[in-house]
Amino acid sequence: MGVAVATPAAAFNADGSRGGIPAQPETEQQKRAPRYRETEHVRAFYRTNRS
The DSSP annotation for 32-45 comes to: HS------HHHHHH
Amino acid at 25: P
pLDDT score, position 3: 59
Per-residue pLDDT averaged across 3-27, rounded? 70
Q: How confident is the model at residue 6 (pLDDT cuts 50, 70, 90)?
A: low
Give the separation between CA 9 and CA 7, rounded to whole angstroms: 6
pLDDT score, position 15: 72
Compare 37 and 1 and report the one with higher pLDDT.
37
Give the separation between CA 48 and CA 35, rounded to whole angstroms: 23
Identify the H or E element spanning 28.
helix 28-32
